[in-house]
Each structure stands twice: as C-alpha cells, then as structure tokens.
Structure 1
Amino acid sequence: MDQLNGLRLSDLGYLAPELTLVISAVILSLLDLFMPAALKRTILGWLTVLAVAISAYFVIQRLGTDQPISLLNESYRIDDFGNLMKLVFLGGTGLIVFMSLGTLKEDDVQHQGEFYYLFLPAVLGAMIMASSGDLITLFVGLETLSITSYIMVGIKKRNVLANEAGFKYLALGAVSSAIILYGMSFLYGMTGTTRLLEIRTALEGSLDSFGPLVYMSFFLLLAGFGFKIAAAPFHSWAPDVYQGAATPVTAFLAVVSKGAAFAIVFRVFTTVYYGVGTESSKAPIGHDGFLAMAAVAAAAMILGNTMALRQTDLKRLMAYSGIANAGYLLVPVASGFSLVHYTTFQEMLFYLIAYLFMNVGAFALIMILEHSTGETGLKALAGLYYRAPWTAAAMVLIILSLAGIPVTGGFFGKIFIMLGAMENHQFWLAAVMILTSVVSFYYYFGMIRQMFMRYDEEAKDVKPTLPLTITLWVCAAAGLLMGFFPHVILEGIQNIFSLGTDLFGQP
C-alpha cells in the first residue's frame, strides 16, 4: 500500500518524532492498566522521559535541511523553524517530567500513571502547531494540546483549587478556541483556501474588496492567541490556573504551552499578515495590526510586572511574571523585519530558550518547597540559605536571569529583543521594556531577600529529591552559560534557520 490518506508510507520517516510520541502514549497507557500502583510513580515517568528523548533525537536528525518537506498536501511542513521550536518543547517537557519523578503523592494525584504519559499527547499537539502550514492542521494541534492540558490541570480531583482551575481553564479555553476558529473562518471566506502561503497571496490581491474583514480576522486571531500566551488583557485565567494545578503541570503551561502558542503566532502573523497592505490606503493591515500587537505587548509587560508586586504566593507570582514575559516575547513579532534588521526569530527563540530554563528552574524550587514543607507562599523562602545553602545559591542564579541582570541568558535575551525593536524604530516599545524590567527587580529581589535576610525558626527542613536538585542546577548553569556564550546560540540558530525558506517557502 503506497499511500495512506494522501501520505506515502515512505514519508512516515519524516514524522518519526510525532509517531514516537503517539506510539509511546499508547504503550504507556496499556502498561498503566496492568502495572502495580507502586511502580507507576517511577517506571512510567522514566519511560515518558525516554520517549521524549527519542523524539528529540529524530528532530535533531532533521535539523539543517536545505528545503522544507511538505506533507499531506502541503498542510504539514518539516522545516527548521518547526524543528527548532520542537526541540524547545521536547526539552522543556523532558525536564518537567524528570523533575517530577518521586514527588507525587497518592493523596494529591490519584492517577499517577496518567499524569506522566498525558504529557506526550500534549507536547505532540505543540509540535503539530509548530509545523502547521494549514489552518486545519493548526487547529488540530491546538486542540490536541488544549484538551490534554484541561485534563492535566484538573487531575488533582480532591483539590478544590485544582477543580476551580480546571473549570476556569476549560471554559475560557473553549471561548478562545472559538474566537480563533471564527478568525480562521474569515480568512477562508476571503481567500477560499486554508493554506497559509496561499492565504497571503490571495489577501494581497483582495484588500480593496475585503479590507474590514482582513482587520476582523487579524484582531480575532490576536485575541484568541492572546489567551493562549496569557498576554494582557487576555490573562485573567493564568494566576488561578497556575496556583490550582499541580506544579509540574503549571510549569508545562508556562513553558511548553506558551511556547507552542508563540510558534504559531510567529508563523501565522508573519506569513499571512506581515507587510500586507502596507502601501494601500484602504487596508494597511501590515502597519495597523502589528501596532495593535505592540500595544498588547506593552500592556502585558506593564500589567504583569505591576501585579506581581503584590503577590504573596510563588505560583501566582510566576503567573504574572509569565504575563510580563509574554509581552517581551511579543515584541519581536510586533517589531517585524527591515532591511537593517531581519533576525527577529533568532531573538525570540534565544529568549524563549532562556525563559525555558528560568521558569523550569523556578518551578523546580517551588516543587522542592512544596514537597518539603507543603507550602508555596513567599514566606516558604524565609531563611532558605540557612536551611539549604546550595539550593538557595542555584535559585539566586535563576532569579538573576529572570530579572535580566548581567551576565545571564535573561539579560542578553532582553537586550537582543530591545535592540531589535530599536533598529526597527520601535523606540517606545524598547522604553517600556526597560522601565518594566526595572520594576521587576523589586519582586525578584524580594525573593532573594526572603532567602538570605529572613529567618523562620519554625520552618521545616528542605530535603529536595535528586531529580529536583539536578533540574535546578541544570537550569541555573544553563542560564549562566547562555550569558557567557550568547553568540554561540545565536550563530547556531542563524546557520540553521532561513526566513525566506522556512516561513515564506522561497528558496
């Protein structure tokens, strides 16, 4: 049988990373039925990490391809844009599953086997989103990720906060998906196609006829994806969901789910809308739409950092920090490209990698505190240096990167984005980045103050598990190395990624 629904059997090799996750999820779900409960906490977790590592190996094999490979009638693209984003998703998922080994409690998460292998279809959805070249494929990946995430958020069935978080995430997530689908319907109605490259070509020839509808589609998609990345004013779900979900799930939402949304935001808005109608007086969507996106980025930076100032729970604080970082990551997309500056994707990806290590490391510390003391409040950090000095030292490195202090990955990530915005004459957006980053110093260094200058005599001993300790130090070291050798990562991305080939299909 040479073909299967338009896909040749010989083409299945290109889908090896995705097929690895699908097959692994099926096998692990079957093992879960027969495996003793005592073994699920470790074996299924390690097998999940192994499946993620194998999938990442297959992705690495496809890096640096000269020409993108189109499958399923050009609806699925194997290109370096998608491959680089997939490595971020798989790396984040692997670290999150690894650090959760040995920390789950039976009275907190009843279905421990499902807890682990549900990460596989979730990251699969993220990978599908990164490689989508068609609106239908994009939506399938989005819902695969979203539906699995809804289940993972509510998996702590006996926890009231988890139930509330799961319901809120499901309700608002369904609304945002409907908004995205509505925006896609306008694009299809105007162009008669669902392929991204064909949509762009069709829009350029029909702006005079469909100008208002083009704007409508842009703003609907911006609102829908704004929810997925938790950017203001579409952020209201994030603090409650972050606080109520199990901490590894919160880390997944903060890193992988957000990263997947940014992957598709970059691909869709850059491929379909960027530069369209710039010379037209009736529908300059390439200017007006991206100005609105810049306003959303500024709102996210301002609101996220100011609201974080008043937080007393570490998971809620990280939620507002994530909102602010969503604004930073939106800046390269909103700034666009120019003849003097065309490394927008490199800047976004560099900061996304730094953001991955910063956040996974921070949530690793939260899990250490939660596992040892049962608390996630800011006061749980009190005297951490005296209780666990090496843990506190690693967290200081992570906080310095979060705050953007030299010489760390977070510092150079923000610098590259800010300089890119200035080269594209977005000076006001760069100014907002600088001012809000200064505001963030207060609550980030408040965490350090708790660790070194506060002491609680009744505080419980901190006894991190080995996976949590390894994850914490890996993230701290990675953030430091990114600060000392940023050029290595940027040059590597630049040598692999090609704007014209990977996004616009031009050799």
Structure 2
Amino acid sequence: MDTAALSSYEWGIMTPEFIILGVATLMSLLDLFAPARFDRRNIGWIGVAGVLLAMISLAGLFDAEVTTILHDTFRLDSFGKAFKLLLLGGSALVLILAISDDTREGLEEYRGEFYYLFLTALLGAMVMASSGDLITLFVGLELLSLSSYVLAGIRKRNLQSNEAAMKYIINGSISSAITLFGLSYVYGLTGSTNLLEIAAVAGTVADSKMVYLLGLAFFMTFIGLSFKIASAPFHMWAPDVYQGAPTPVTAFLSVVSKTAGFVLMTRVFLMIFVRIPTEGTGSMPFFYQIQDYIGFLAGATMIVGNVVALRQRNVKRLFAYSSIAHAGYLLVVFTTLQFMFNTLWFYLAAYLFMNLCAFAIIQLVTNGKGSEDISLFAGLYRKSPFLAVAMGVAVLSLAGFPGTAGFIGKVNIFMGALVDQPAHYVLASIMIAATVVSYVYYFGIMTQMFFRPADEKHGEKIHIPVGVGVVIVICVIGTLVLGVAPDTAYDFIDSQFKNFSDFFQ
C-alpha cells in the first residue's frame, strides 16, 4: 500500500483509539523510566485524563456519517459510537477506583503495569466495537483477553490471584479457539472476512449443506462467546476469577469486559447469521429458527446464576453469580431481537452504574480485613450511612426494584419477550421467577447492613477516599436518573445514534 493511499483514509474516525494507544504507550514509558520513589498513582491519573479526552473526541464524532477505512475493517457507525461511550465511561470509573485503592490489595508493586495493561484491554474492546471484519474482531478480542489474563493474576504472590489467572487463561484460550474455529468455517464458506460481504453471501445461500455448515459455525461461535460473557454452562471460571482478582479488576471484568462480549456477539450474529435462510433463498432466516435454543441457554443462565448465588458467603463470588444471572437477562434480548439495540444499550448502561457502585463499596468494606465474607457488611449503616444507602440503591437496582435503572432495564427485556411473535411466555416466566429468587440474596445484603449489629472486630468507621466517593455518587445518580427518567437515555439514543439505523450500512 502506497503513502498516498494511507493518507487518503479518514484517520480522524480512529481518534479515540489513537488517544488510548498514545496514553498507554506514554504510561508504559513513564513506569519504565521513572525512579522507584515516583508515585505510580500519578500514572493512573494520566490514564483517567486520556480516557476522558477519548470520550470528548468520541463526542465530536457523534454527528459523523457511517465511515469505513482500511478496506472496511474499521467502521464508525452509531452502534460503535454508542457502545464505545459505555466502554470509556466504565473504564474511567474503574481507573479511579484503582487509583484510590490503598494498596492493601497487593497492587503497590505492580501499580504502573496495572494502568497501561488496563488501557490496552480497553483499546481491544474499542476495536471490537468498531470492527467491520472478522480479523479485526478477533484481534480486538485477543487484545482484551490477553491483557485481562495478566490483570487477573497481577498479584504474583497471592495464591488466589494465581489460581484466578490460571483458570482464566485456560478457559479463555479454549473459548478463543472454539470461536476462531467457528469463524474459520464462515470464512471458508463465504470466501471473505468482511462482515458486510459475508452477510451478502449468507443471505443468498441456496445449498442446504452450506446452510448446515453455517449453522455449525454459528453454534461453535456462540459457544465460544458464551465463555466470554460467562453464561451457563460455560460460567464456571467466573466465580474463581472474580474472587481471586483484585477488586478493581473484578469491577472491570464484570462491567467493561462483559459489555465488550455482548458487543462482539451483536456484531457477529446480527451481521452474519441473522440473514442465513434455513433452506434456500426466501425461507425464514436460520437465526429465527434457533431462537428456542438461545432462549434455553438464557433461561438456564438466569436459573443457575441466581440459585447458586443463594449459597454464597464470599461477597465477590456472590456478585460473580449475580453477573452470570444478568448475562442470562441480556441473552433474552438475543432470543427475541425486539427493541434490541436500545434495550441492550440501556441495560448495559444501568448495569455499569449499579455494579460499579457495588464494587466500589465492596472495595472499601473488605479492604484490609483479610476476608470477603458477607458478614463484613453487618452494621454498615451505623459505621457509614452514606455507604449503606448507596449500596442499598445499587442492590435494589440489581434486584430490579421499581424506581431504579435495573427495573426499567428488566421491564424492557420482559416486554420484548412478550411482544415477539410467537411470545416467549416460558422465558418471561423464568425471568420473573429468577428475579424473585435474586431478592433473597440481594436483600440478605440489605439485612446485614441495616438490621445486624456491627462486629466489634471490624466496627471501626470506614474512610472514604475522595475518588471512590466521586465514583459512588456518579453511579448512584446514574442509577436513580435512569430509573426515574429513562426517557433521558432513550432521547439521547434517538438524537445521537438514530436508533442505530445505520448498523447494516
């Protein structure tokens, strides 16, 4: 490729990615050459500034039309812009949590590495959100995954962290291999790695044998990506990784990484498999024929996540199973495909606020205690009313209580299951039952905070760093605003992203 061709590309659409790449490079050089006495927290603040700058540059691209560069491997569309906004916003909040950590998590020795590995993972997620090609998608996926493996095991001298990293690497490698195997079938059958070109070929398939092989490719890809989003029965790595990883890393995996996983599933399934006819051109698309199978997986994920969470005493394992259950709720969206983009974006935004709020408080309550037992929350209202009320808001939202963002998100998914024709009554019933079951362990945390006396051993008041306090306030406000006035989010989507109408352009 000559210089003229390179200069002809509209590189401006990659400004957010270039900013994250440049800041990550700068942070790695600072960590390498700065003296040992230099406080590595300052590197983290550079990372926060870089993420905020990337968000500003992304906002400047909101009015841009659909643009593709590098032979359509990178595309700027409403879908990419909307979900990159979530990725950047969540990452900024997680970075502030990591900076405000008082080093009892064992990060003090590797704090510099944490920050630029974190931005590298974010870069991979952003590339996935704007990918227009299978190769770009997989490169972004592996950039996110490899960085996440290291982050999970960054406490080298902690056995639980070592175990978390090992299980994450093994399961992640297997899932990546299965995903790549499925995508290789797609390439072999269509002769292209470009998503739009694959979609064009898949929509005109007339050979039943080719449909069968594309169906096999779908199931292999779906299984591989199910590992990434921790849906049952491919979820067993998540509780151990969530427990063993430092709390900021756990927050990142539960929010940013999960969002990236659903972004990847949406790109692949809607742009490729939703157009494949079952038996020749003109018949019902293959994707609609297998809705029941996806629905079964969604139901199993909701049931397993919520039921197993009932027996958890470790609060991070409890929230790991809660995360699994929420993956099940989101899979209902893929089953019905009703109001998909708006519902998916809103629920992931709500999940970002309520889950990050919970993990920020978990970090404060468990720090330095040598334990993560749920009993540490006993008497929290007396020790810190602010933290108890904020945790109450987050828990109520996760449970889907009216007046919170979680409630609106679940209602949208539930209505989508009923509006779809034929209606998914069984799946909607499972969703209601699973939500009711979740009240038991969510309200168990509420009981500890408001109705149990504080343990004398851990009865001291909790110091709230300014950064963590800011994160908690932002998350509580976001949770309540999206719950009380959800139209603000939907109006924002409609005005800025045009209901994602350019997804297939």
2: distance between equivalents of 1:346 and 1:403? Answer: 21
Matched, 1:419 2:415: yes
Partner of 1:140: 139
Partner of 1:172: 171
Tell me if the contact between 1:154 and 1:245 (Cα under 8 Å) persists in the aligned partners.
Answer: yes
Question: How much has 1:426 moved relative to structure 2?
Answer: 2.1
Residue 449 of structure 1 aligns with an amino acid whose one-letter code is T
Partner of 1:489: 489
- Structure 2 unaligned segments of length 5 or more: list them: none
Partner of 1:289: 290
1: distance between equivalents of 2:427 and 2:35? Answer: 55
73, 76, 80: which one aligns with 1:75 = 73
Tell me if the contact between 2:155 and 2:161 (Cα under 8 Å) persists in the aligned partners.
Answer: yes
Residue 43 of structure 1 aligns with an amino acid whose one-letter code is N
425, 429, 433: which one aligns with 1:431 = 429
1: distance between equivalents of 2:25 and 2:95? Answer: 18
Partner of 1:219: 219
396, 400, 419: which one aligns with 1:400 = 396
357, 363, 367: which one aligns with 1:367 = 363
Tell me if the contact between 1:99 and 1:467 (Cα under 8 Å) persists in the aligned partners.
Answer: yes
Partner of 2:239: 239
Residue 374 of structure 2 aligns with an amino acid whose one-letter code is L
Residue 452 of structure 1 aligns with an amino acid whose one-letter code is F
Matched, 1:321 2:322: yes
Residue 27 of structure 1 aligns with an amino acid whose one-letter code is L
Q: Secondary structure at the match of 2:38?
A: helix
Deviates more, 1:426-435 or 1:477-486: 426-435
2: distance between equivalents of 1:261 and 1:8? Answer: 32
Tell me if the contact between 2:9 and 2:70 (Cα under 8 Å) persists in the aligned partners.
Answer: no
2: distance between equivalents of 1:451 and 1:3? Answer: 63
2: distance between equivalents of 1:179 and 1:151? Answer: 21
Tell me if the contact between 2:211 and 2:276 (Cα under 8 Å) persists in the aligned partners.
Answer: no
Tell me if the contact between 1:361 and 1:471 (Cα under 8 Å) persists in the aligned partners.
Answer: yes
2: distance between equivalents of 1:463 and 1:237? Answer: 33
User: Map of 1:224-303 to 2, 5 A cutoff?
Assistant: 224-277=224-277, 280=280, 285-303=286-304
2: distance between equivalents of 1:495 and 1:24? Answer: 31
Tell me if the contact between 1:211 and 1:283 (Cα under 8 Å) persists in the aligned partners.
Answer: no
1: distance between equivalents of 2:123 and 2:153? Answer: 20
1: distance between equivalents of 2:62 and 2:309? Answer: 38
Question: How much has 1:101 moved relative to structure 2?
Answer: 1.6
Aligned residues: 498
Deviations 1:29-88 (A, max 9, x none): 1111222344334201111100111111111111133x3101110111111100110010
Q: Secondary structure at the match of 1:231?
A: coil
Tell me if the contact between 2:104 and 2:367 (Cα under 8 Å) persists in the aligned partners.
Answer: no
Deviates more, 1:128-137 or 1:424-433: 424-433
Partner of 1:88: 86
Q: Secondary structure at the match of 2:68?
A: strand
Partner of 2:469: 469
Partner of 1:340: none
Q: Secondary structure at the match of 1:407?
A: coil
Partner of 1:459: 458
338, 341, 358: which one aligns with 1:345 = 341
User: Map of 1:127-206 to 2, 5 A cutoff?
Assistant: 127-206=126-205
Deviations 1:266-302 (A, max 9, x none): 1211111125315759995222333222211111111
Partner of 2:111: 112
Deviates more, 1:439-448 or 1:99-108: 99-108
Tell me if the contact between 1:369 and 1:375 (Cα under 8 Å) persists in the aligned partners.
Answer: no
Question: How much has 1:421 moved relative to structure 2?
Answer: 1.6
1: distance between equivalents of 2:496 and 2:150? Answer: 36
Question: How much has 1:106 moved relative to structure 2?
Answer: 7.1
Question: How much has 1:95 moved relative to structure 2?
Answer: 0.1
Tell me if the contact between 1:40 and 1:112 (Cα under 8 Å) persists in the aligned partners.
Answer: no
Tell me if the contact between 1:207 and 1:282 (Cα under 8 Å) persists in the aligned partners.
Answer: no
When residues 223 and 207 of structure 1 are mapped into structure 2, their CA distance, relative to the original with a 3 A threshold, is farther
When residues 336 and 207 of structure 1 are mapped into structure 2, their CA distance, relative to the original with a 3 A threshold, is farther
Residue 253 of structure 1 aligns with an amino acid whose one-letter code is L
Residue 105 of structure 1 aligns with an amino acid whose one-letter code is T
Deviations 1:202-223 (A, max 9, x none): 1222242412211110100110
Tell me if the contact between 2:211 and 2:277 (Cα under 8 Å) persists in the aligned partners.
Answer: no
1: distance between equivalents of 2:329 and 2:319? Answer: 15
Q: Secondary structure at the match of 1:464?
A: coil
Tell me if the contact between 1:207 and 1:214 (Cα under 8 Å) persists in the aligned partners.
Answer: no
Deviates more, 1:416-425 or 1:107-116: 107-116
Q: Secondary structure at the match of 2:391?
A: helix
Tell me if the contact between 1:41 and 1:102 (Cα under 8 Å) persists in the aligned partners.
Answer: no
2: distance between equivalents of 1:187 and 1:207? Answer: 15
1: distance between equivalents of 2:76 and 2:283? Answer: 36
When residues 207 and 108 of structure 1 are mapped into structure 2, their CA distance, relative to the original with a 3 A threshold, is farther
2: distance between equivalents of 1:183 and 1:34? Answer: 43
When residues 70 and 284 of structure 1 are mapped into structure 2, their CA distance, relative to the original with a 3 A threshold, is closer
Question: How much has 1:198 moved relative to structure 2?
Answer: 1.3
2: distance between equivalents of 1:192 and 1:367? Answer: 49
Partner of 2:446: 448
For normalisation by structure 1, the TM-score amounts to 0.94
- Structure 1 unaligned segments of length 5 or more: list them: 338-342
What is the percent sequence identity of the aligned residues? 44
Partner of 1:331: 332
Residue 243 of structure 1 aligns with an amino acid whose one-letter code is Q
Tell me if the contact between 1:212 and 1:283 (Cα under 8 Å) persists in the aligned partners.
Answer: no
For normalisation by structure 2, the TM-score amounts to 0.95
Tell me if the contact between 2:20 and 2:50 (Cα under 8 Å) persists in the aligned partners.
Answer: yes
When residues 286 and 106 of structure 1 are mapped into structure 2, their CA distance, relative to the original with a 3 A threshold, is closer
Deviates more, 1:234-243 or 1:383-392: 383-392
2: distance between equivalents of 1:422 and 1:106? Answer: 48
Tell me if the contact between 2:356 and 2:475 (Cα under 8 Å) persists in the aligned partners.
Answer: yes
RMSD of aligned residue pairs (Cα, Å): 1.9
When residues 500 and 50 of structure 1 are mapped into structure 2, their CA distance, relative to the original with a 3 A threshold, is closer
Tell me if the contact between 2:41 and 2:111 (Cα under 8 Å) persists in the aligned partners.
Answer: no
When residues 301 and 277 of structure 1 are mapped into structure 2, their CA distance, relative to the original with a 3 A threshold, is same
Deviates more, 1:344-353 or 1:109-118: 109-118
Partner of 2:99: 101
Deviates more, 1:284-293 or 1:423-432: 284-293
Tell me if the contact between 2:160 and 2:245 (Cα under 8 Å) persists in the aligned partners.
Answer: yes
2: distance between equivalents of 1:7 and 1:376? Answer: 53
Matched, 1:379 2:378: no
Q: Secondary structure at the match of 1:101?
A: helix
1: distance between equivalents of 2:500 and 2:345? Answer: 17
2: distance between equivalents of 1:300 and 1:489? Answer: 27
Residue 26 of structure 1 aligns with an amino acid whose one-letter code is T
When residues 501 and 282 of structure 1 are mapped into structure 2, their CA distance, relative to the original with a 3 A threshold, is closer
Question: How much has 1:326 moved relative to structure 2?
Answer: 0.5
